[in-house]
Structure 1
Amino acid sequence: MSIRLSEDEIWEFVSAAHTGVLTTLRADGAPVSLPTWFVVVDRTVCLSTPSGARKLGRVRRDPRAAFLVESGRAWAELRAVHLSGRVGPVEDDATRDRVRSLLDEKYAAFRVSPQRLPAAARSAYTDRAVLRLVPDERVLSWDNSRIRLSGG
């Protein structure tokens, strides 16, 4: 049996993950990997970011990106999905609203009330852009629990 996940298993796993790691590229090509909250919409990864975030500038300059979700603590429990593709701002109002609503629903129990944030942070997080990563066909996935270990 392969340790790779099927396409349906990949999207189930990604959808259920709490936090993913988005990697974008600086102008000099150096990668920047940052954790982010996200939702899956039509087998793409959608997230929001402050409109003034450097991440947005990197994405506009070079849309190549990667996204990783993982789980497991012991080696035999490790599962992961690594997507490569292109990421860009969502310009369609209806899609932006849908993504924001899905993010609000998924993370409602984990957010901090805006009133508790310092004014600068509250301001930065008020105006948010929505990004969508459209993966290419090169999906890496594995589930080490599928490996049959010998006793001892």
Structure 2
Amino acid sequence: MAEIPLQEIKDILNKKERWVALTTTSPNGYPHTVPIGYFLVGESIVMGCRDGTQKVKNIERDPRVSVLWENGRGKDSIKGILFQGDARIVRDPKERMELKVEACRQRGEEPPAQLSDGSVYIKITPVKTITWDRPTRGRR
């Protein structure tokens, strides 16, 4: 299967359907995968969540993660993007507020006056991108 061009990756990730699968490594070494919303800040993929969740604990122990976007339309037309990257947990109130304001801006919402207690952000820097596009490229 052929790869998806960089501009198309950016266009896909900036659409309104902003859900991906985030995979971290659990304490026993098995993958821990959860669906999660995201937004982009520069080249980073950012996700908000509650502090202390299993994904946060896993990232603190091992920051290597993968993020999967796929169109879910079946094997004859599947398109996917897999990012492998390094994650960090953002707890700093100033940086959290900056990310919250950006998330609200992208969604067309008013930012809150203050942050939710116990919330953090996961900020992922991709180090490798793997794509596949069966519907329009590389058909046999």
Normalised TM-score (structure 1): 0.74
Report how far residue 76 of structure 1 moved: 3.2
Structure 1 consecutive aligned stretches of length 4 or more whose deviation exceeds 3 Å: 91-95, 102-109, 147-150
- Residue matched to 1:61: 61
Distance 1:8 1:148, change over 3 A: closer
Shift of 1:91: 4.9
Deviations, residues 99-132 of structure 1 (Å, cap 9, x unaligned)? 22343455689xxxxxxxxxxxxxxx74200111
% identical aligned pairs: 20
Cα gap change, 1:74 to 1:57, in 2 (>3 Å):
closer
2:129 is the counterpart of 1:139: yes
Give the distance between the partners of 1:72 and 1:28, measured in 2 at CA.
Answer: 29
The answer to whether the 8 Å contact 2:18/2:39 transfers is no
Q: For residue 75 of structure 1, give the secondary structure of its aligned residue in structure 2.
A: coil
Alignment-derived partner of residue 112 in structure 2: none
User: Which structure shows the higher helix fraction?
Assistant: 1
TM-score by length of 2: 0.80
Q: CA RMSD in A?
A: 2.5
For the pair 1:37 / 2:28, whether they are aligned, the reply is no
Q: Distance in 2 between matches of 1:57 and 1:148?
A: 40
1:8 equivalenced with 2:7 (yes/no) = yes
Which stretches in structure 1 are left out of the alignment for 5+ residues?
110-124
Q: Secondary structure at the match of 2:58?
A: helix
Contact 2:2 2:138 in 1 (8 A): no
- Determine helix, strand or coil for the equivalent of 1:146: coil
Q: Say yes or no: does 1:87 pair with 2:78.
A: no
Measured in 1, the distance between the counterparts of 2:135 and 2:43 equals: 24
Larger Rg: 1
- In structure 2, what is the Cα distance between the partners aligned to 1:66 and 1:59? 11
Q: Is the 8 A contact 1:39 1:99 kept in 2?
A: no
TM-aligned CA deviation for residue 63 of structure 1: 0.3
**Number of the residue aligned with 1:28:** 28
